[in-house]
Structures are given as structure tokens and as C-alpha cells.
Chain A
Amino acid sequence: MNRISAVIDRFGRAVLDNIEEMGKILILFLSVLMWMVRPPLKLRLIFKQMEFVGVKSIFVVVLTGTFTGMVMALQGYYGFRMFNAESLVGSTVALGMTRELGPVLTALMVTARAGSAMAAELGTMRVTEQIDALSVMAANPVKHLIVPRIIAGVVMLPALTIVSDFMGILGGYFVGVPILHINEGAFIKNITKMVDLGDIYNGLIKAAFFGLILSLVGCYKGFNTTGGAEGVGKATTEAVVLASVSILISDYFLTAIMF
């Protein structure tokens, strides 16, 4: 009897903890929104975060985008060859990149690169009591630390995604036309015919959401770190896992809503 109640107890606590965490993230988000519209904006801090989140992620995003496009072209080619429809490879790559793979892969890469860094940075600041020091200096830590990161995430993710989309299609083109000898005109014609502006823009809207999720989760995990250096490591791991899972799950719902 005791045991059963203990299991139920633990389950209930886990649910409550999760809900509590979600509530805390939401409260953090609301306070971010509140502080975002309250001037003065710390532009220098924002640009610094943008450079960190965006510019410094270009290389890894270009790499993943290009190779994803290339492998999609290769795989699509084997499928479409059965129907003599090789020229559809281009549009498949373009649609796949703009609608799904561009935003999601970019978001995952940035989560791994920048989201984890945010959690680690803020966590270290928390455990070394720098955040407390900021509060003492009457500088709101949310405004100084979190708002720039979130703005950087929301703005930079779409920019990175469009680069990723483009590089993916370019990669698909280089595999399709020179290597697999698909007719160039049909390849490009099918891309422009099948891909709509909506596909690109909805992908970018998704990317902005993912940017919000990964920076928010990273900041929350770092901001609420406890337990010294070990706690920082734990916070970083949790931030990456939670952000990645949230991105993939929210991707489904965003897709269902938008397309």
C-alpha cells in the first residue's frame, strides 16, 4: 500500500514539477516581453548576442544545410528514377529544405551551439553569484542577460534558416545536375513551379519560433541553476535536451497549423 502510494506520489510530483517548470518558463517569457518593450534597449548587448548566435553559427549551418540537400538529392534520385521522374528531385529538395529541414536542422544546430552556451554562461553567473550582484546593482538581470539573447535567437534563426535553405538547394543542385545528370532546365523549372512563397515564409516563421524556444529554454535553465559546477553541467544538458525535444514537438504542431 505504501509502495503504491509512493509510486503514485512520485508520478504526481513529476507531473507537478513539469507543470511548474512550464509555468516558470512562461513567467520568464512574460517578463522578457515586459522588459523588451521597456527602453532603453541594450543594443550593444543585443548585437553581441546576435553575433554569437547568428554570425558564428553560419559555418555549421551552411555545412549541415549543404550536405542535407546533397543527401536528399541522392536519395530522392533513387526513388524518382523508378518513375522516370528524376527532374522532380530538385523540387523535393527545395520543398523539404524550405518547409522542414532548413528550420529544424538550423534550430537543432543553434541549440547545440548557442543554447547550451547560454545555459552554461548564465548558470556559471548564477552559481558564482554574478546575477545576484547585478540585482544588487539595480540592473535587472532579465533585461541585461535574457532579453538580448532571446531577441538574438528570434531574429537570427530565420536568417540562418534562409541561408540553410539556399545552401541545401544549392547542394541538391550540385548533386543532381553535374553528378546525377538530371536535366538542368527541368530541375530548376520544377523548383520554381512547385515551391511557393508560402513554403519559404512559413519555414521562416517556424525558425523564429524555434529561436524563441531554444533561447528561452537555454536562459531559463541557466538562470535557475543550482549546485555549483555540477549544476552548471546539468543545466546545460537539460537545456539542450529540453530545447531539442520542444523544437521537434512544436514543429509538428506548427506544421499542422500553417500548411
Chain B
Amino acid sequence: MSSISTEAKVGLFVLVALIILGYMSFRVGEGGFGLKKKGYPVQVVLDSATGLEKDASVQIAGVEVGRVEDISLRDGKALVTLRIIPEITLAKDAEATIKAYGILGDKYVDIAPGTPGEERIEAGGQIARTGRQADIDKLLSELGAIAGDVMEVTASLKNTVGSVEGEENIRAIIHNTRVITEDLGRIVRQNDAKLSLMVENLSEASVEMRRAFATLNSIVEKVDRGEGTIGQLVENKEAFDNLNQSLASLRNITDKINRGEGSIGKLVNDEDTVENLNASLQSLGKSMEGIDRFVSKSEQFRTFLGYRGEYLFDSGDGKSYLDLTIRPKEDYFYVLGLVTDPRGERTVTDSTTNGETTRTESWEKNELLFTAQIGKRFKDIALRGGVFESTGGVGVDYFALDDRLKLTFEAFDFGSDRNAHLKTYAEYRLLKHIYLSAGWDDVISNEGGESPFIGFAIRFEDEDLKYLLGSVPIPK
């Protein structure tokens, strides 16, 4: 060891130190050092350079292609000078955006280099397009607002659904819906035969109709072929000659009329006659209007099909209505319908034996009741009369909220032996075809039939029925 001179030791040490320094400089200076000399500057004007610092990274697709050289202010906006390594060319439509590594990370400038074919941005040029920066502060404040909204919703949900009462209500609603659907199923099952009969009839009718059309068609064809009287009239040459002759004599006559010859000629050339004729024409015009009205009738004509299920709380029964509402004009309508009443139809039989009158009341369960009413509407109020649940009665409807809400009062079954059946309820249109209703049935019953109820209805307009019925003559 002693052979190594002082100078050698010092020289070796300094050399080692220089090698370490060179190595560290090389590792550290990879990006920055060469760039400052070689890279070219590009400017970009950003609305905000928040968090961006000098020497921040400039990246394309996550690969570093330069550094931020300078940040200054120009016209209230941030003017950022970037230094890009020479190998990278940016097109005129390049776009610069400030982005961050994660939420807490440093900011960097991300560049979309643009379309390769476009003209390139020269040194000292400017990137015109800037992307919208995802501002974390703005994001957080928006998130805060959203969270507030969600909290309000959940709070109100908690108040309505979360309470014991709300839970019970929901359970009741589900239960009621089940009862109603069960009823519906039962109705369909029970009336399966009737319904299929109806459908059968309809199909028979359509067959008839087809036959009628066929007959009509054959008549027209016959006419076309010159068969029968009309056919001959149309097709026969002789007939045509006759017609020609008739027309010629008609012309003779009209010529005479024109000249004022004969009685008709005098009539026509007379002023009074012209006036009379005018009046006749006017009345003809009126008649035409009437025809017009008749034609547009089928346009006004609307039919609605509806199903309504009601759940009676006291008896726990369901009551179902199937309605066909025919509305030939805005202000009046007909209602035809079927009703299933859990109590069925009541029949009273008086029998006299040994001078003693016994009255037996019997309820025919599961019997269909009928509804047939006529009604007229005066603005928001509609009056109805006719058959309610197979008995005579009257009803009043009051419409509110653009017809969304209907308040109804019905009175029927005015038998002498029992109080009239009064029914009052409100119906609200929840969705386009879905209605919810609630009310009180048989309000003043003396037979314990009174019950609050809630109901649910589907009602929609039936276009096919409309045209089917539109062809049926309806007295005006």
C-alpha cells in the first residue's frame, strides 16, 4: 500500500468522484438537459394553468415528449410555453389539455398530436385547440350537490317508505294488487265461454261482411260485363245510341229553353225563377254540410275500453268492471259494461202460503251484472243515467286537473225495501292508461254493505272498435 503515492491516491479519488458525478448527471439529465438545447418551443393559451409548474412533463399518449418551459399571463389567460423534442411533429389541429396523475398527483400537459397529414406547427408556433380540463375542485363541488340531492331523496323515502306506516301501506298495496289480479283471473276464467262466444260472433260477423263484399264485387263485375239491366245499360251499343238520341233531344229542349220558348224556357228566363233556384241551391248546400258532419262523425267517434278493479276493505272482496265507453261526440257518450259483484245479484221472491207472505232474498253469486248508461257532458260535469249494476240509477262526474282527476257520485238500486246504493269515489290518472281510485261503496246501506275501497283501472282507446262501430248507423 505504501507504494501508492499521495498524488495517485488523490487522483484516484477525484476520478471516482467525477465518474459518480457523471453517472448521476447522466441519469438525472436524460430528459431535461438535452432538451433545452435541441427541443423547439410551442405555445399554448389555456384558460387556467392551475397546478401546472415549470418543467412539468409534456406527454403524448403518456410518453414524455417535452417539458413546460415557461408559464406567463397573456390577456387574462395562461400562456404556457412548451419545449418539444425535435423528433415529434405536431399538426395544426393538435390539442393540449392539462391533466393530473390521479387526484393528488402532479399536473402535466397532454397533447393529442392531431391528424398526421395536416400542416405541422413550426417552432414558436401555437397550439390553437385546448381541451377542457377536468377540474377537480369543480368536480368535487358538483359531487357535493349530487350527494345533497341524493340525501334529500333518501330522506324523503325514509319518511314515506321507511316508517312503519309506509311499510304497512306498501304491504297493503301489494296485497290488494294480488287480490285484484286474482279477481281478474277469476273473471276471465268464469267468463271464458262468453268471451269466446263473443269473439266467435265477431269472427262470424267478419265472415258475413266478407261475403257481402264478395257479393258486391260480383254485382260490380256483372255490371262491368254488361249482365243484367244496369249492365246492359252500360254495355249495350243500342242503349248507348238511345242515350245519344236522348241527349240530342235534350239539347233541342235546352236550346228551346234558352230561347225562352215553351213553359220551362219562360220559367228559366224569369228573374223570380232564378231567385227560387238560388234558394234551393243554398238549402242544398246546407244539406251537404249535414253530410259533411255525418262523414266527420266517425272522426269524432271515440271508443274506450276499460277495466277497473276495486278492493272493498270491509268485505275483503274484489269488484271488477269491464266497460266499453262509446263517445260519438265530445259531449255525449254511452257506457256499456259488465260488473262482477261478489255479492252477486239479489232476487227477491214473495211467496204466499196460508195467507202469510214470506219474502225470500237470495243472492246469486258470481253473476254478471250489466251496465248500460247514456251520458252528457257539460264542460267539467258529466251526467249519466241508465242501468247501473243491473239496476236503474243516475250518476254525476266532475272532472278536474285536465281530466286527470274524476270525482264521481252514483246512486242506483232504488228498491223500496232497502236503501239506495250510493257510491262515491275519486279516480286519478297516474300514467297514460293507468288510473287509481278510492272511494266509498254503498254508503247508506242498511245491509252492512258499505265499505271503503281502493281500485285500479286500465283504460285505453280502441281504434278498431271505433271503425267497426263507425260503420253501424247511429241515429243523429
Residues of A at the B interface (CB closer than 8 Å) are 44, 47-48, 50-51, 54-55, 58, 83, 85, 98, 155, 158-160, 162-163, 165-166, 191-193, 195-197, 199-200, 204
Residues of B at the A interface (CB closer than 8 Å) are 6-7, 9-10, 13-14, 16-18, 20-21, 23-25, 27-33, 55, 57, 104
Residue of B nearest to A46 (CB): B10
Query: How far apart are A12's CB and chain B's nearest CB, in angstroms?
Result: 47
Interface centre among B7, B25, B30 (most CB of A within 10 A): B7
The contact of A166 among B20, B30, B31, B104, by CB within 8 Å, is: B20
Q: How far is the CA of A166 from the CA of B25 in the complex (A)?
A: 11
Contact (Cβ within 8 A) B17 A159: yes
Given that A47-B7, A162-B21, A200-B21 are contacting pairs, would A192 and B28 also be in contact in the complex, using a CB cutoff of 8 Å? yes
The contact of A163 among B6, B20, B28, B33, by CB within 8 Å, is: B20
Contact (Cβ within 8 A) A51 B6: yes
Contact (Cβ within 8 A) A197 B104: no
Query: How far apart are A54's CB and chain B's nearest CB, in angstroms?
Result: 6
Chain A residues lying within 8 Å of B27, measured Cβ to Cβ, are: 191-192
Q: How far is the CA of A155 from the CA of B11 in the complex (A)?
A: 12
Majority secondary structure of chain A interface residues (helix, strand, loop or mixed)? helix
Contact (Cβ within 8 A) A163 B17: yes
Chain B residues lying within 8 Å of A50, measured Cβ to Cβ, are: 6, 10
Chain B residues lying within 8 Å of A58, measured Cβ to Cβ, are: 13
Query: How far apart are B103's CB and chain A's nearest CB, in angstroms?
Result: 11
Q: How far is the CA of A155 from the CA of B28 in the complex (A)?
A: 23
Majority secondary structure of chain B interface residues (helix, strand, loop or mixed)? helix
Chain B residues lying within 8 Å of A204, measured Cβ to Cβ, are: 21
Query: How far apart are A48's CB and chain B's nearest CB, in angstroms?
Result: 6
Residue of A nearest to B5 (CB): A47
Query: How far apart are B7's CB and chain A's nearest CB, in angstroms?
Result: 5
Given contacts A47-B6, A193-B57, A197-B33, 18 further A-B contacts (CB under 8 A): A47-B10, A50-B6, A51-B10, A54-B10, A55-B9, A55-B10, A83-B104, A85-B104, A159-B13, A162-B20, A165-B24, A166-B20, A166-B24, A196-B28, A196-B32, A196-B55, A197-B28, A197-B29
Chain B residues lying within 8 Å of A44, measured Cβ to Cβ, are: 6
Chain A residues lying within 8 Å of B25, measured Cβ to Cβ, are: 197, 200
Q: How far is the CA of A55 from the CA of B20 in the complex (A)?
A: 15
Chain B residues lying within 8 Å of A166, measured Cβ to Cβ, are: 20, 23-24
Query: How far apart are A205's CB and chain B's nearest CB, in angstroms?
Result: 13
Residue of A nearest to B55 (CB): A196
Contact (Cβ within 8 A) B16 A197: no
Contact (Cβ within 8 A) B6 A48: yes
Q: How far is the CA of A162 from the CA of B33 in the complex (A)?
A: 19
Contact (Cβ within 8 A) A160 B30: no
Residue of A nearest to B23 (CB): A166
Contact (Cβ within 8 A) A195 B28: yes
Interface centre among B20, B24, B55, B57 (most CB of A within 10 A): B24
Q: How far is the CA of A191 from the CA of B224 in the complex (A)?
A: 102
Q: How far is the CA of A50 from the CA of B25 in the complex (A)?
A: 24
Chain B residues lying within 8 Å of A162, measured Cβ to Cβ, are: 17, 20-21, 24
Contact (Cβ within 8 A) B10 A200: no
Q: How far is the CA of A196 from the CA of B31 in the complex (A)?
A: 10
Q: How far is the CA of A192 from the CA of B57 in the complex (A)?
A: 13
Query: How far apart are B15's CB and chain A's nearest CB, in angstroms?
Result: 9
Q: How far is the CA of A200 from the CA of B33 in the complex (A)?
A: 13
Chain B residues lying within 8 Å of A98, measured Cβ to Cβ, are: 24
Given that A55-B9, A83-B104 are contacting pairs, would A200 and B16 also be in contact in the complex, using a CB cutoff of 8 Å? no
Residue of A nearest to B27 (CB): A192
Chain A residues lying within 8 Å of B9, measured Cβ to Cβ, are: 51, 55
